[in-house]
Amino acid sequence: MRISHALRLGIGAVAIAIAASTTGCGGGNDAGTGGSQAKDGKLTIGIKFDQPGLSIRDANGSFRGYDVEVAKYVAGKLGVRPADITFKEAPSAQRETMIMNGEVDFVVGTYSITEGRKEKVDFAGPYFVAGQALLVRMTNTDITGVESLNGNRKVCSVKGSTPVQNIKDNYAKDIQLLELDTYSKCVDQLRSGAVDAVTTDDIILAGYAGLAPGELKLVGPTFSVEKYGIGLKKGDRDTREKINNAIEEMVADGSWQRAFETTIGPLSGSTLTPPVVDRY
C-alpha cells in the first residue's frame, strides 16, 4: 500500500482540522502480557503522544488519532472498554524495553516491523504500510528528495527509529544527522532553521505539515517500506493471534477504512489497500 505524494500533502493540510472527529515467535502465553491483563478488563497500551493525526494527547488528557483508534478497536476485541485502557507514552527508543519489562501490554505507535526488533519482541500485523520521506520548509527548492541530501545538509530524526537507522546505513556520508527524542522537537528545529529537513514516515510528516500550512512541505518519493505492527511480549502467541484476528476484523467490517478517513485525511481519488497480516 502506498499513499501518493498529492494525497500526503492533502493529508497534511487537513490532519489537524479533522482529527477532532475521532472517538475518543514463541511458545506459550507469558504471565503479565496482554492476554492475561485483558482478562481483568484492563490494558496498558503504549502510543506516541505527539504525532498529529496518528496519536496526540490533548490538553485535557484525552487521546485521538489513527493509532489510538486501532488500539481501541483491538482492545475491544480483547474485551476491554476504552475507559479501561491506560495509554502510556512510548518513545521510539524505549518501545522494546517497555514491552520486555511489562510496562505496557502492547505498543501501537508507528512501530515498524523489523527482523532486529523481532529478536526482542513479537509483532501482530501489519495494520498499515508507510514509507520514509522528507519534510522541508516551503521556501526550500534545493532538497527534492533523498538523493539531493548532499553538501552537509542537516537532517533531524528520532533516536531508535528505523528512519534514523536507514539514514545512518545509506546516506550518512552526505549529511549531518541530528537525533532527538521526538519528531515534534525535530519539526521545531526545522521551523527555526536549525536543520534543513526532517525525515521519518510519510504519514507522520503529513500530520506535522498540517500544523504549519504554507510553511512546511513533503518532497520527493518515499525511499523505504515501513510495515506498522503492534508490538507485544515475545512468546505470547495467544495474544498475538488474537490481535491479528482483530486487525483482520477491523479491515473486514470497514472500521479500518473509517478510522483512517476520520483521523488522517480525505481519500478522494486515491486507493487505500489494507496490508496482509503476517502470521509468522
> SS3 sequence, 18-40?
HHCCCCCCCCCCCCCCHHHHHHC
pLDDT value at residue 34: 55
Q: Which three cell numbers stand for residue 270?
A: 486515491
Q: Is the pLDDT of residue 10 over 70?
A: no
User: Which pLDDT value is given to residue 261?
Assistant: 84
Domain borders along the chain are 12-129+225-263, 132-219
Cis peptide upstream of residue 126 (ω within 30 degrees of 0):
yes
**How much is the average pLDDT of 178-207?**
94
CB–CB of 196/140 below 8 Å? yes
pLDDT of residue 189: 97
What is the pLDDT at residue 277?
97
- pLDDT per residue as tens digits for the range 135-162: 999 999 999 999 898 778 999 999 989 9
Model confidence at 211, pLDDT cuts 50, 70, 90, reads: confident
Backbone conformation region of residue 79, classed left if phi is above 0, alpha if psi is from -120 to 50, else beta: left
Q: What is the pLDDT of residue 15?
A: 37
- Residue 198, pLDDT > 80, answer yes
123 burial type by CB count under 10 A (0-12 exposed, 13-18 middle, 19+ buried): buried
CA separation for the pair 262, 144 (Å, rounded): 30
Q: What is the pLDDT of residue 175?
A: 87
- Which CATH number is 132-219 given? 3.40.190.10
Task: Report yes or no: 31 and 39 within 8 Å, Cβ to Cβ.
Answer: no
Q: What is the pLDDT of residue 36?
A: 53
Statement: residue 6 has pLDDT above 80: no
The C-alpha atoms of residue 104 and residue 191 are separated, in whole angstroms, by 33
Please state which CATH class domain 12-129+225-263 belongs to: alpha beta
Q: What is the average pLDDT across 217-245?
A: 95
